[in-house]
Amino acid sequence: MDNKPQIVGRSIPRVDGVAKVTGAAKFAIDLSVPGMVFGAVVRSERAHAEIIDIDTRSAEQSPGVVRIITGRDLDNVVPYFGHIVLDHPILAIERTLYYGEPIALVIARSQQAATHAASQVEVEYRELPYVTDALEALKDDAPILHPQRGEVVRDLGFDAGEEGGSGNICSLASLDWGNVDSGFAAADLVIEGEFRYPMLYGYAMEPYNALAVSGEDGLTVYTTTQHPYMVRKDLARILSLPFAKVRVVVPYVGGGYGTKSYSKIEPLAAVAAQLTGLPVKVVLGVEESIHTTRSDSAIVRARSGYTAQGLLVARAFEIVLNSGAYTDNSPQVGQKAVNTCFGPYRTPALSVRMRSVFTNTVPASSLRGFGTPQGTFAGELQMDEAAERLGIDPVELRKRNLVGPGEEVIPGKRALEANLPEDLELLSKSVDWPDPGEGRASGLGLSASDSGAYPSSTALVRIHADGSASALVGATEMGQGSRTVLAQIAAQELALPMELVTIVSSDTGIGPFEQTTGASRTTTVVGRSLQAACQDARRQLRALAAEVHEVAVESVQDAPGGVLVDGTWRSFAEVIQGWFGAGGEVIGTGAIRRSGDFAETPVFWEIGAAGVIVSVDRDTGEVSVEKLATIGDVGFAINPAMVHGQDAGAALMGLGAALHEELVYEGEMLTNPNLVDYRVPRFEDLPREMDQMLVERQDGVGPYGSKGAGEGGGNAIGAAIASAIARLLGVRPRELPLTSERVWRLLQDGRIPREADDDLS
């Protein structure tokens, strides 16, 4: 399939202003339907307990209450959901596995009535031993969360770790090549250490909400998911319905970042709608959303061997993820960590082992860059430490080891499309490497993430009788600007003004299938399926024009907004109306699957390249980021403004994880499930200067040589900041976030913390 621009007379419509979202934009939280009732969730006040009794008598007498649903009411449905393992209950069944787990849903005529009645529900527990620490959960005497594992379904279509775990192991993954033992034996320098990456919440402006309507025509759910087709699959399985009877509609989403991937509260709303026969709306607050999902925290034990010249000879990583109470997406997060922890470097021998671990904490799932930031933090800091001990400049040491364009990062996988030595040179100049001035220090970090998810995508294009066009896609618009860039692609392929193109997205009832919206894939994968749909529509229009004008189809050529018939321009409208006689339209279809340009995986390598200049107040430990620089190695920026926005957003989320953000458990309780105590970046935290560079070599498999962006900017920020602090203070951090207190203690101790004190066996 040719992905080069073929239209004569128009350049690719690159928009440099603020991204414009075409089509309707409305938060799902504002939606309402006649007869709608509201749900309020009753949540567990124990981390691990047997549910002895749920007393709903007082709540049932509360004004406006319609029904109260508990786990006992789920007998006639499949009560579990999950796209890898069916183990996440819609409501707790017999046991609760984490503090804040949904136990009951109170349905009432108003939100206030539902919330009031929920406070009247009384639960009797028999407490069980709990474990919130991943290393403790691996011990022989730890309480077992899942004595019997749920059914393995693997809806993803791609690798999501290995089966065979026992005890509290949620999933396993590994990667090996070369002879690691021989490599370390031959090394002139071997360094090792333990690194910790925090548990995070991907705060989106819009909390979780869903509206479910059940009737004779089936089930319709309006929700804020990133993956409507995967939610449809979960709901169809739960309710034993065919796909055709389940419609998932996604209005404009107020932020996702991976946290709105897969099913969250949709199963609860759907089951409630079916049991009551009424439209049921469930809206969570911020604290409830934090108790719904978070990222996997990580403990990474890393070992790296080098020659005296700074060349890598062997690397070994042991990764332990704290994945919470249920499987959700942690196996894929773990697999991603395995595939990226060693970085984009030539590594003759490698051994990586990952264990994802169940604990009595909020279930972990996707968050921007999932898996890559955790491992990159460890891998990059060891590159810095090796450079210091070998007396080699850290930039030079990286250059000696970087995988070059066309070389494989992982044997047998797609070769790297980027020129990382050139990217690193640009980055180092931007942060004034190696000397940004007195009282300041530079730090850098690199990563290469196997992105794009499984390459399965379909698109439709409708050319209407007036010559305008509607493109139907399954991708979700959640603020990243996918509707804009897809409209640009369709406008380019059809040679139409953008104002004549509309994008219709994220409605399983009318739109085509899309595997996911995530892994930075939309421009690359959906863009290619949309190109194919436009080309199919063009082919049909040429055939119609040939029939109408009684000429050979080979003599009809594409032209802007129409065709050329024997040198005469005919508009799309003229061709369609001429063939149909009145009205009519042409529908083009396009599909991408794992073949051709997409036969190799990953779909593309998303580059993470970040640099910083920092200063530190030695009295308080407060870190100030004077400058932040990123490289957007995107192949071709169809919309540069949006790429800048995505890189900036990713970088600032990475900044939050590096300096402020961390979900903290004390005992069984999460102590900071709110935006006062959970510290997201504020305007005052913005770097004083940002330099966002775009590199365009047209080396991607996406439209016009593009490849994905949106996560890479944040994957290496933690490593870059820790690197700069180490150079500035002479102590080497190994745990994020680098809060003022943590940095102050580093200064007081004058030593490197966590020298592999914990046993990962």
- One domain for residues 426 and 319: yes
In a domain, 623, yes or no: yes
Burial state string for 108-130 with b = 16 or more CB within 10 A and e = fewer than 16: bbebebbbbbbebbebebeebeb
The position carrying tokens 């070769």 is 415
Neighbour tally for 542: CB within 10 Å? 20
pLDDT for 7 beyond 60: no
Q: What is the pLDDT of residues 386-395, one digit of tens each?
A: 999 999 999 9
Pick from 248, 283, 318: which residue ends a domain?
A: 283
Say if CB 320 and CB 375 are below 8 A apart: no
Stretch 214-242: mean pLDDT, rounded? Answer: 96
Q: What is the mean pLDDT of residues 213-242?
A: 96
**Phi/psi of residue 459, each to 5°?**
-150, 155
Question: Taking 90 as the threshold, does the pLDDT of residue 220 lie above it?
Answer: yes
Q: Each residue of 329-364: pLDDT tens digit?
A: 999 999 999 999 999 999 999 999 999 999 999 999
Res 753 pLDDT > 80:
no
The CA-CA-CA angle for residues 125, 128, 130, to 5°, reads: 125
Q: Which domain holds residue 449?
A: 294-453+600-749
The pLDDT score that the predictor gives to residue 750 is 73
674-733 pLDDT tens trace: 989 999 999 999 999 999 999 999 999 999 999 999 999 899 999 999 999 999 999 999
- 608 and 584 in one domain? no
User: What band does 760 get if pLDDT is binned at 50, 70 and 90?
Assistant: low
Question: Are 448 and 466 members of one domain?
Answer: no
What is residue 79's predicted lDDT score, i.e. its pLDDT? 97
Interval 488-514 mean pLDDT: 95
Residue-wise DSSP of 79-131: -EE-SSEE-EESS--SEE-STT-EEEEEEESSHHHHHHHHTT-EEEEEE----
pLDDT at 164 over 70: no
Query: Which two tokens mark 351?
Result: 């051994």
Q: Do residues 298 and 382 both lie within one domain? A: yes
Shared domain for 87 and 224, answered yes or no, is yes
pLDDT digits (tens, 9 = 90+) for 62-111: 999 999 999 999 999 999 999 999 999 999 999 999 999 999 999 999 99
Residue 495 structure tokens:
């040679």
Count of the separate structural domains present in the chain: 3
User: How far apart, in whole angstroms, are the C-alpha atoms of residue 156 and residue 214?
Assistant: 27
- Looking at 264, 283, 302, the residue that finishes a domain is 283
If you average pLDDT over residues 284-293, what whole number do you get? 96
Please state, in angstroms and rounded to a whole number, the distance separating the CA atoms of residues 332 and 161. 6
Both 340 and 449 in a single domain? yes
Confidence (pLDDT) at 25: 39
Q: Name the pTM for this structure.
A: 0.93
- 501 in Cβ contact with 494 (< 8 Å): yes
Q: Which residue has the tokens 């206030």?
A: 112
Tell the residue number behind the tokens 């794992």, with chain if given.
Answer: 594
Res 564 pLDDT > 60: yes
Among the residue ranges 3-7, 240-244, 592-596, the one predicted with the least confidence is 3-7
Alpha helices (H) along 457-506? 482-494
Percentage of residues in the chain having pLDDT higher than 90: 88
Is residue 421 domain-resident? Answer: yes
Q: What pLDDT, in 10s, does the model give residues 579-638?
A: 999 889 999 999 999 999 999 999 999 999 999 999 999 999 999 999 999 999 999 999
Residue 154 pLDDT grade (very low, low, confident, very high; cuts 50, 70, 90): confident
pLDDT at 14 over 70: no
Residues 478 and 583 placed together within one structural domain of the fold:
yes
Asked if residue 589 lies in contact with residue 460, where contact means CB atoms within 8 angstroms, the answer is: yes
Give the CATH number for residue 321.
3.30.365.10
Q: What pLDDT was estimated at residue 5?
A: 31
- At 27 the pLDDT is 56
The answer on 583 and 696 residing in a single domain is no
d(CA 120, CA 637): 55
In this prediction, residue 166 has a pLDDT band, given cuts at 50, 70 and 90, of confident
Q: Which pLDDT band, with edges at 50, 70 and 90, does 157 fall under?
A: low
Classify residue 628: in a domain, yes or no: yes
Position 10 scores a pLDDT of 30
| Greater pLDDT, 358 or 478 | 358
Is 100 a member of any domain? yes
pLDDT digits (tens, 9 = 90+) for 41-63: 999 999 999 999 999 999 999 99
| pLDDT, tens digit, 9 for 90 and up, residues 645-659 | 999 999 999 999 999
Give a yes or no: residue 161 inside a domain: no
Tokens 């928009």, residue located: 15
The contacts of residue 148 (CB under 8 Å, 6+ apart) are: none
Q: How many angstroms separate the Cα of 384 from the Cα of each of 318, 380, 415, 443? A: 19, 7, 26, 9
**Three-state secondary structure call for residue 446:** strand
Q: What pLDDT was estimated at residue 666?
A: 96
Same domain, 485 and 367: no
Rounded distance between C-alpha atoms, residue 404 and residue 694, angstroms: 19
Q: Is residue 49 included in any domain, yes or no?
A: yes
CATH of the domain at 110: 3.90.1170.50
> Do 332 and 416 reside in the same domain of the chain?
yes
CA distance 289 to 292: 5
What digits encode the pLDDT tens for the residues 527-553? 999 999 999 999 999 999 999 999 999
pLDDT band at 260 (very low <50, low <70, confident <90, very high): very high
Q: CB burial class (10 A; 0-12, 13-18, 19+) of residue 685?
A: middle
Give the tokens for residue 205. Answer: 């402006």
**Domain end among 565, 593, 621:** 593
3-state DSSP percent of the chain in helix, strand and coil, to 5: 30, 25, 45
Residue 8 lies inside a defined structural domain of this protein: no
Query: Is 172 a member of any domain?
Result: no
**In a shared domain, residues 436 and 541:** no
Q: Are residues 361 and 464 in the same domain?
A: no
What is the average pLDDT value for the chain, to the nearest integer?
92
